[in-house]
Structure 1
Amino acid sequence: MRIAVAAAAAALLGVLATAAPAEAHTTLTSSDPAKGASVTAPARIRLTYADPVRFPGVVLLDAKGGHHEAGKASAVDNHVTQQIGGALAPGVYTVGWRVVAEDGHPVTGEYKFTVTGGGSPSAAPAGPTSSAPASPAAEPVRHTSSAGWWWIGLVVVILAAIAGVVALLRRRTPNGRA
């Protein structure tokens, strides 16, 4: 019985020691064009996060669901750039994004902006050296859960319980035989 209690205590300690920290995922700190902005047709979308990110994905959708991305999004440190394919017609556009934070958790969000007037997009430089102003994007970040850590902890507890039962059964029978 003491072995089973010791195994359960060890399992609980293991779960607590490996618990994930408070969800410290990155956040979107600014965007160009900004959330809710009315702008002339941009040549690119630029997103800035609080921390470095990787594996970026950005979509630009018009009101009918048509895509307007050119190529893949690129990430350099905490900046993500997505080139826009062709001139955008006046209207409301939705930027949807997904990145992986330094802690390994995917973070997603979206916001809207409006293109006013006509004309073609200006040739804006890509990447973090752009001098275009980045405006705050007040879109709340949707986080994934850290449920994976709970599953790992549950497996540890179950394995410890099985080990405790086996040890208890061996102790009660002579020479470990049933």
Structure 2
Amino acid sequence: MTHSLRSARRPFRAAVRAGVAVGGAVLLLLAAAPAALAHDRLKSSSPADGAKLAQVESIELEFTSRMTMPTLVLDGPAGENLPLGKPRAQGVTVKAEPAAPLEPGRYRLAWRVVSSDGHPIAGELRFTVTAPATPTASESEATPAETPAETASASTSSTPAGAAPAASSSPVAQAEAEAGSGGVPGWLWVAAAALVAGGAATVVAGRRRRATGDAGPRP
């Protein structure tokens, strides 16, 4: 009888042990579930995944906890890597700006951060730009027109050093130019002619006086 009771208790004990083991495993799973559910993750983004926007001037990622060591990679419509400003971690957000306006097309943003528990997490999102890129302020500024003073200065500076100024068209200036260039002024010719004429008149008068003296009464 005693042997029969011992034989009946063995299956019962085995069942109890199995139940305890299963219960312990369930408790461990329940204890680990909150930790898994509380793992840091991406909460929202701007632009959002799949969004279509006229233009994207900045990128902002918001996480469920404070992140460190952010890395962002932006690929263009043709798969080319596009430059981004240095990502900045500010509390639970990570921000960066494209280095140049984005052309229309589909873009892919890959991100990687280190979560508060020290584990790296990564992901990616895609968005579409629909409007053409607008030029920046420095590119759209037109070259200012030259002022009259600047024009005069430019023309003065373009004159070769040591070049003679243009000759005046007045007669006085022309006469001075002729005199300075080695030519004989006209008034000198007139004075010379007057002197010659005066000398000739003096000679003729002297000859007449001599002739008159010779024709006078003789003793």
If the TM-score is normalised by the length of the shorter chain, which range does it land in?
Answer: 0.5 to 0.7
Secondary structure of the equivalent of 1:89? coil
Under a length normalisation based on structure 1, what TM-score does the superposition of the two structures give? 0.53
Higher RCO (C-alpha under 8 Å, 6+ residues apart): 1
Query: What per-residue deviation string (whole Å, max 9, x for no partner) do you get for residues 14-43 of structure 1?
Result: xx9xxx983443111111111111002211
Counterpart amino acid of residue 109 in structure 2: V
Cα distance in 2 for residues equivalent to 1:122 and 1:96: 26
Cα RMSD, aligned residues only: 2.4
Note the C-alpha offset of 1:92: 0.4
Q: Does 1:116 align with 2:125?
A: no
Contact 1:90 1:116 in 2 (8 A): yes
Note the C-alpha offset of 1:121: 8.3
Write out aligned runs for 1:71-110 (5 A): 71-110=85-124
Cα distance in 2 for residues equivalent to 1:80 and 1:121: 26
Secondary structure of the equivalent of 2:55? coil
Contact 2:73 2:84 in 1 (8 A): no
Q: For structure 2, list consecutive stretches of 5 or more residues without a partner in the other structure.
A: 1-27, 138-219
Query: Cα 1:121–1:52, aligned 2, differ >3 Å: closer, same or farther?
Result: farther
Cα distance in 1 for residues equivalent to 2:129 and 2:55: 6
Contact 2:104 2:133 in 1 (8 A): no
Q: Does 1:26 align with 2:40?
A: yes
Query: Cα 1:122–1:100, aligned 2, differ >3 Å: closer, same or farther?
Result: farther
Give percent identity, aligned residues only: 41
Query: Cα 1:30–1:84, aligned 2, differ >3 Å: closer, same or farther?
Result: same
Counterpart amino acid of residue 51 in structure 1: S
Cα distance in 1 for residues equivalent to 2:46 and 2:134: 17
Cα distance in 1 for residues equivalent to 2:87 and 2:53: 21
Alignment match of 2:53 (pick from 39, 43, 68): 39
Higher strand share: 1
Cα distance in 1 for residues equivalent to 2:136 and 2:56: 7
Cα distance in 1 for residues equivalent to 2:110 and 2:117: 21
Structure 1 partner of 2:5? none
Shifted more, 105-114 versus 23-32: the winner is 23-32
Aligned length: 105
Structure 2 partner of 1:48? 62
Higher helix share: 2
Under a length normalisation based on structure 2, what TM-score does the superposition of the two structures give? 0.44
